[in-house]
Amino acid sequence: MKITVLTLFPEMLRGFFESSIMARAVKKGLVEYELVNIRDYALDKHHKCDDLVFGGGAGMLMLPGPLGACLDAVGARERRTVFVTPSGRLFNQAYARDLSQEGSLVVICGHYEGIDQRIIDEYVDDEISIGDYVLSSGEVAALVLVDAVFRLLPGAISGESLEEESFSGSGESGLLEYPQFTRPADYGTSKVPEVLTSGHHAKIAGWRLRERLKKTLAYRPELLASVGLPEEVQRLLAEIVTEGGSHEPYAEDPGRADQG
């Protein structure tokens, strides 16, 4: 997949593409990337990229001239072009999967109050928000989007890791992931749940499913209705609800005062 990111701050992104799993995907030839500085397409002597909003209002808008020239230079009209913005369609795993099918992606990072609507009308296929909160720069949102997409490319990470993680599909695989433990089996005052060291695969699978249900019930109960659980799993869920819902660590109020 070829990924082109248009940005006013390429240095914010470079470290991501040169590190860890992304760097490996680039080395393997799964990802080719290009960081393009929109300012290079601002032809006035001050390389101006923003101006006031017509009609008034707070903040500045990115100028259509430099951004349009930049989009033309990277062939955006012939490629799936996304703009990350808090006023876009909400991003999720299914959206990431859809974008991962593209051979080529252009991502526009917004700054200031956003970009001129004529650029959106002319070049942008998708306006995408990564969540219901506002970031100070589109680069952070672009990284989230690119990360969620590239890791789904065949060969980027192991298929097994993908299968069991949260949001990976319908039925049980649409649940949040179960808790995981590594060595040592005794850590401080707390021990790994015995079943996980029993070597009994069916019991381990049963424990994991139960934990996924408990965690999803506690954190994201709305997912339980939409993932389409098989009947026997629904029975297990009903049992958990009758027993009093989720276990202690997940039963806390997320808005409690001591969370900083």
Choose between 84 and 124: whose C-beta lies nearer to ligand ADE: 84
Choose between 108 and 224: whose C-beta lies nearer to ligand ADE: 108
Provide the minimum distance between the beta carbon of 49 and ligand ADE in the complex, in angstroms, as a whole number: 16
Q: How far apart are CA 22 and CA 71, in angstroms?
A: 24
Size of the site for ligand ADE (CB under 6 A): 12
Provide the minimum distance between the beta carbon of 130 and ligand ADE in the complex, in angstroms, as a whole number: 4
Among the candidate windows 128-136, 187-195, 215-223, 230-238, which touches ligand ADE by CB under 6 A?
128-136
- Report how far apart the first and last C-alpha atoms of the chain are (Å, whole number): 40
133 belongs to the binding site for ligand ADE (CB under 6 A): yes
Provide the minimum distance between the beta carbon of 13 and ligand ADE in the complex, in angstroms, as a whole number: 14
Q: How far apart are CA 74 and CA 76, in angstroms?
A: 6
Provide the minimum distance between the beta carbon of 83 and ligand ADE in the complex, in angstroms, as a whole number: 8
Choose between 105 and 130: whose C-beta lies nearer to ligand ADE: 130
131 belongs to the binding site for ligand ADE (CB under 6 A): yes
Provide the minimum distance between the beta carbon of 134 and ligand ADE in the complex, in angstroms, as a whole number: 5
* Binding-site member from 141, 149, 213, 217 for ligand ADE (CB under 6 A): 141
Of 26-85, binders to ligand ADE (CB under 6 A) are 84-85
- Residue 119: burial class (beta carbons within 10 Å; 0-12, 13-18, 19+): buried
**Closest residue to ligand ADE, based on beta-carbon distance:** 141
Provide the minimum distance between the beta carbon of 71 and ligand ADE in the complex, in angstroms, as a whole number: 18
* Binding-site member from 10, 66, 68, 138 for ligand ADE (CB under 6 A): 138
Question: Residues in the site for ligand ADE, rule: CB under 6 A?
Answer: 84-86, 110, 129-131, 133-135, 138, 141
